[in-house]
């Protein structure tokens, strides 16, 4: 029996995995995290205080107490049955990396002991030469090291019976270049903190720290593991390169917010439990639009922690799914013809005095502060739309953006009717000559109407890539497999940069003798005028918008290789260097790495398409072709008239045509790949892979293969079909 029928057959005998879901969440939350509260129990006063102040200041921990802290962490971990530790980091491959070491060691005289020294906690040198570095380590220094970032607490990862202590680290080269997603993010958050505090101090001198906040929404598909295993394309690329859409897919809209299928529900509860232990504050779960598609979202956290938690969650989701004989598909577009998956990034900024800077205030003064941060965000997105677009560019996300299910590749901002009107008012009523009108403008009461309007889902524009949703912006164009660090690094950097500029301009007016509030209002007005073309309230999916955006001069770069250009423009180099996020060489390196990733992904997809076509589709189709040919021959020999086998002949003709086309196109695609592979420049090669391989062949080959799927005897087709993967569980 083929894997496909085995998979279908096996479904009925799948028993539920027992999940211990009785515990209250609060009873397990953070139980596998070395929180400050835990630290209090396991560390001396001195070590605790030192750790606490490192966390607060965002510094490395003090070497003098590192041994004490390490010993305390080991005592905690061992009490929980941990024997190994690892530095856990987020290299540019896009997944998480770890290398386990044992606490176990031998003393000089051969006595076995368990030990975890401060050095091992603070810094490690993973043999990481095979992580992408974009040539950085080749030119500078051969090795990189991982260093604990105390703002992220150590945690224990449970895999089956094994438990590992994970130390969240950044990954940098010896000459200081970032080799991961986390190090630049921390720099960007620091830049934002400084710039935002300066601006906050116009309104409130007590603000001494501003943190950016992130609440992501993770979309994903779940399918049966046996089906997954029977699809080499899913195994290799995370998406189905072939597969005819099933008669029913999402058109009845019966899956969205429907009841969650039981097997999936058990899985969700299980991965949620694991997440709670790790301190990931998951709060919502529901079905998504497409069949077999779901979403989960946490309560928002500080960006760096939220980023770690999302990376960790993707890992946990994958591991736990296997326990349930399921597979989670995090890919942006696992199935053609139905919605893909995104990861909305809800983002805001909060002060240490407890104010959400994107929540409209209750008094004229806090209103002006809100308006300041609100308009600066719009200005930042306007000025750096291309870099923001580059931050979400990836081969899988190209399938989604602009495909009528996700925002287009045009970056625009949606703010809702009410705030559009407010901005219009400011623009019209604040005049170049400063007078009393300006004073009266300061009294506009934004607070009154916004929250009601925007918090209510009805006034939200789902087609916008960057939408204001009442007290935060929602960056919706991020892909489901993405590490949020990349878009968050860019967003926080462009915000920091814009705020710095804002302060300069306001200060200049104040120096000229202008009253502070009036000066602020004037710069706000300038910013509204300068960036209003990025505001768009209409249907982002429509053709009309693409045309309109072009008229407005907004960039609309549809493919990753070209979108990535924005990372290495003079503008980008200046932005990232002046804010101390990336040097020029770091940017070049990252650009190179992203292009390489793109090339490899398309190359692997192309290979699997060729392989499946040649070794599965064609042999199966040819067998069926023979069957039909024999049938016709037999009927002919039996003396039947042509009319008796007219239908068979018609099918045979169709099949033969699709066989020839498939085979022909696959050959040509392989040739095209060879041409690409000989190209020197990575950028040219990436563009060629996109236009000469992907665009030139993928859809065409798929068309013929999918036709064959419909024509060939169902019993002979051994790849699980869409209806089976999406509807059977």
Q: Which residues bind ligand ADP (CB under 6 A)?
A: 213-215, 217, 297-300, 346-348, 356, 457, 469, 471-472
CB of 405 to Mg ion, least distance (A): 13
Helices assigned H by DSSP within 278-409: 303-323, 364-383, 385-391, 395-398
CB of 476 to ligand ADP, least distance (A): 10
- Give the number of other Cβ atoms within 10 Å of residue 456's Cβ: 10
CB of 357 to ligand ADP, least distance (A): 9
Residues 6 or more apart from 676 whose CB is under 8 A from it?
Answer: 599, 685, 688, 689, 692, 693
**Choosing among Mg ion, ligand ADP, none, which partner's interface includes residue 287 (Cβ < 5 to 8 Å by kind)?**
none
CB of 397 to ligand ADP, least distance (A): 20
- Give the number of other Cβ atoms within 10 Å of residue 574's Cβ: 12
Nearest CB to ligand ADP, comparing residues 149 and 217? 217
Alpha carbon dihedral 667, 668, 673, 679, in 10-degree steps, equals: 140
Q: Which stretch binds Mg ion (CB under 5 A): 59-67, 209-217, 419-427, 551-559?
A: 209-217
The dihedral built from the CA positions of residue 108, 114, 120 and 121, taken in this order, carries a sign that is negative
Q: Which stretch binds Mg ion (CB under 5 A): 109-117, 160-168, 210-218, 671-679?
A: 210-218
Taking the C-alpha atoms of residue 347 and residue 212, their distance in angstroms, rounded to an integer, is: 7
Per-residue contact string for residues 281-320; x = within reach of Mg ion by CB under 5 A: ----------------------------------------
Of 142, 221, 144, 225, the residue nearest 179 (C-alpha): 144
Of 295, 286, 283, 298, the residue nearest 328 (C-alpha): 295
**Choosing among ligand ADP, Mg ion, none, which partner's interface includes residue 215 (Cβ < 5 to 8 Å by kind)?**
ligand ADP
Taking the C-alpha atoms of residue 51 and residue 681, their distance in angstroms, rounded to an integer, is: 47
| DSSP state letter for 486 | H
User: What is 562-613 written as a DSSP string?
Assistant: HHGGGGGSHHHHHHHHHTTS--HHHHHHHHHHHHHHHHHHHHHHHHHHHHHI
CB of 90 to Mg ion, least distance (A): 24
Taking the C-alpha atoms of residue 470 and residue 451, their distance in angstroms, rounded to an integer, is: 5
**Choosing among ligand ADP, Mg ion, none, which partner's interface includes residue 57 (Cβ < 5 to 8 Å by kind)?**
none
CB of 481 to Mg ion, least distance (A): 17
**Choosing among ligand ADP, Mg ion, none, which partner's interface includes residue 300 (Cβ < 5 to 8 Å by kind)?**
ligand ADP
Q: Which stretch binds Mg ion (CB under 5 A): 11-19, 96-104, 216-224, 437-445?
A: 216-224
CB of 218 to ligand ADP, least distance (A): 10
CB of 359 to ligand ADP, least distance (A): 7
Q: Which stretch binds Mg ion (CB under 5 A): 213-221, 505-513, 614-622, 668-676?
A: 213-221
Contact assessment for residue 197 and residue 298, using Cβ atoms and an 8 Å cutoff: no
Does residue 497 interact with Mg ion by CB under 5 A? no
Angle at 397 between CA 396 and CA 401, to 5 degrees: 140
Nearest CB to ligand ADP, comparing residues 452 and 642? 452
Q: Which stretch binds Mg ion (CB under 5 A): 217-225, 252-260, 516-524, 625-633?
A: 217-225
Nearest CB to ligand ADP, comparing residues 148 and 473? 473
CB of 214 to ligand ADP, least distance (A): 6
CB of 293 to ligand ADP, least distance (A): 16
- Give the number of other Cβ atoms within 10 Å of residue 162's Cβ: 12
Nearest CB to ligand ADP, comparing residues 32 and 345? 345
Helices assigned H by DSSP within 169-288: 182-200, 225-229, 232-237, 262-277
Taking the C-alpha atoms of residue 610 and residue 684, their distance in angstroms, rounded to an integer, is: 23
Of 35, 49, 62, the residue nearest 122 (C-alpha): 62
Contact assessment for residue 614 and residue 666, using Cβ atoms and an 8 Å cutoff: yes
**Choosing among Mg ion, ligand ADP, none, which partner's interface includes residue 541 (Cβ < 5 to 8 Å by kind)?**
none
Helix 516-531 / helix 416-429 crossing angle, nearest 10 deg: 120
Q: Which stretch binds Mg ion (CB under 5 A): 176-184, 212-220, 501-509, 645-653?
A: 212-220
The backbone region for 726, taken as left when phi is positive above 0, alpha when psi lies in -120 to 50, beta otherwise, is alpha
CB of 693 to Mg ion, least distance (A): 33
**Choosing among ligand ADP, Mg ion, none, which partner's interface includes residue 214 (Cβ < 5 to 8 Å by kind)?**
ligand ADP
Backbone phi, then psi, for 648, in 5-degree steps? Answer: -55, -40
Nearest CB to ligand ADP, comparing residues 374 and 722? 374
Beta bridge partners of 328: 222
CB of 353 to Mg ion, least distance (A): 30
CB nearest ligand ADP: which residue?
Answer: 215
Nearest CB to Mg ion, comparing residues 195 and 477? 477
Name which position in 177, 180, 217, 605 contacts Mg ion (CB under 5 A).
217
Nearest CB to Mg ion, comparing residues 476 and 721? 476
Per-residue contact string for residues 391-410; x = within reach of Mg ion by CB under 5 A: --------------------
The dihedral built from the CA positions of residue 543, 544, 546 and 550, taken in this order, carries a sign that is positive
CB of 344 to Mg ion, least distance (A): 5
CB nearest Mg ion: which residue?
Answer: 217
Pairing of strands 282-287, 326-329: unpaired
Nearest CB to Mg ion, comparing residues 147 and 401? 401
Of 654, 706, 684, 655, the residue nearest 241 (C-alpha): 706
Nearest CB to ligand ADP, comparing residues 358 and 521? 358
**Choosing among Mg ion, ligand ADP, none, which partner's interface includes residue 297 (Cβ < 5 to 8 Å by kind)?**
ligand ADP
Nearest CB to ligand ADP, comparing residues 173 and 341? 341
The size of the interface with Mg ion (CB under 5 A), counted in residues, is: 1
Nearest CB to ligand ADP, comparing residues 111 and 457? 457
Nearest CB to ligand ADP, comparing residues 284 and 424? 284
Contact assessment for residue 486 and residue 383, using Cβ atoms and an 8 Å cutoff: no
Nearest CB to ligand ADP, comparing residues 359 and 655? 359
Residues 6 or more apart from 329 whose CB is under 8 A from it?
Answer: 220, 221, 222, 223, 228, 234, 238, 239, 341
Residues that bind Mg ion (CB under 5 A): 217
């Amino acid at each position: 029996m083929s894997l496909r029928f085995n998979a279908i057959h096996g479904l009925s005998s799948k028993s539920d995995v027992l999940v211990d879901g009785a515990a209250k969440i609060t009873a397990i939350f953070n139980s596998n995290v070395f929180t400050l509260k835990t630290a209090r129990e396991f560390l001396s006063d001195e070590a605790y205080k030192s750790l606490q102040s490192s966390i607060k200041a965002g510094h490395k921990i003090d070497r003098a107490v590192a041994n004490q802290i390490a010993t305390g962490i080991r005592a905690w971990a061992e009490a929980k049955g941990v024997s190994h530790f690892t530095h856990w980091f987020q290299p540019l491959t896009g997944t998480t990396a770890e290398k386990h070491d044992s606490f176990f060691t031998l003393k000089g005289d051969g006595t076995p002991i368990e030990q975890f020294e401060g050095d091992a906690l603070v810094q490690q040198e993973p043999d990481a030469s095979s992580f992408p570095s974009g040539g950085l380590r080749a030119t500078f220094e051969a090795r990189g090291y991982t260093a604990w970032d105390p703002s992220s607490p150590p945690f224990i990862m449970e895999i089956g019976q094994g438990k590992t202590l994970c130390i969240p680290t950044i990954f940098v080269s010896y000459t200081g270049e970032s080799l991961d997603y986390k190090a630049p993010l921390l720099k960007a958050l620091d830049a934002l903190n400084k710039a935002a505090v300066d601006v906050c101090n116009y309104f409130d001198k007590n603000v001494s720290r501003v943190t950016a906040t992130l609440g992501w929404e993770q979309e994903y598909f779940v399918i049966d593991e046996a089906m997954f295993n029977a699809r080499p394309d899913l195994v290799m690329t995370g998406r189905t390169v072939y597969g005819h859409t099933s008669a029913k897919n999402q058109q009845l809209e019966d899956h969205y917010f429907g009841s969650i299928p039981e097997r999936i529900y058990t899985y969700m509860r299980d991965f949620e439990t694991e997440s709670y232990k790790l301190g990931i504050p998951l709060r919502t779960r529901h079905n998504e639009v497409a069949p077999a598609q779901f979403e989960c979202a946490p309560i928002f956290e500080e960006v760096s922690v939220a980023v770690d938690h999302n990376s960790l969650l993707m890992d946990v989701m994958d591991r736990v799914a296997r326990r349930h004989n399921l597979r989670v598909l995090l890919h942006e577009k696992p199935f053609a013809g139905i919605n893909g998956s995104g990861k909305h990034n809800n983002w805001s900024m909060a002060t240490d005095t407890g104010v959400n800077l994107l929540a409209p205030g209750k008094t004229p003064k806090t209103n002006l502060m809100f308006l300041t941060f609100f308009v600066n965000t719009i200005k930042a997105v306007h000025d750096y739309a291309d870099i923001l677009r580059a931050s979400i560019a990836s081969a899988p996300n190209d399938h989604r953006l602009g495909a009528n299910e996700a925002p287009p590749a045009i970056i625009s901002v949606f703010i809702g009717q009410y705030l559009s009107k407010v901005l219009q008012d400011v623009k019209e009523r604040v005049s170049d000559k400063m007078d009393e009108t300006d004073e009266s403008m300061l009294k506009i009461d934004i607070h009154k109407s916004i929250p009601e309007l925007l918090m209510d889902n009805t006034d939200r524009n789902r087609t916008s890539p960057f939408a204001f949703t009442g007290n935060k912006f929602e960056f919706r164009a991020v892909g489901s497999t993405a590490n949020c660090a990349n878009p968050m690094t860019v967003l926080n950097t462009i915000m920091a940069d814009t705020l710095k500029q804002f302060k300069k301009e306001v200060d200049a007016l104040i120096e000229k003798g202008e009253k502070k509030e009036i000066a602020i209002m004037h710069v706000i007005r300038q910013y509204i005028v300068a960036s209003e073309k990025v505001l768009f309230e209409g249907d982002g999916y429509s053709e009309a918008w693409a045309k309109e955006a072009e008229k407005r001069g907004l960039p609309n770069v549809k493919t990753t290789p070209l979108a990535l250009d924005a990372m290495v423009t003079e503008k980008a180099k200046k932005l990232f260097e002046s804010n101390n996020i990336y040097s020029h060489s770091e940017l070049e390196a990252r650009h190179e790495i992203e292009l390489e990733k793109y090339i490899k992904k398309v190359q692997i997809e192309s290979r699997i398409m060729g392989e499946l076509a040649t070794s599965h589709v064609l042999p199966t189709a040819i067998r069926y072709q023979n069957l039909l040919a024999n049938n016709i021959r037999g009927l002919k020999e039996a003396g039947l008239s042509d009319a008796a086998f007219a239908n068979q002949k018609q099918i045979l003709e169709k099949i033969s045509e699709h066989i020839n086309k498939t085979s022909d196109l696959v050959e040509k695609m392989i040739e095209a790949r060879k041409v690409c592979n000989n190209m020197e420049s990575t950028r040219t090669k990436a563009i060629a892979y996109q236009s000469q391989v992907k665009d030139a062949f993928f859809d065409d080959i798929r068309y013929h293969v999918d036709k064959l799927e419909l024509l060939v005897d169902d019993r002979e087709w051994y790849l699980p079909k869409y209806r089976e993967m999406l509807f059977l569980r």
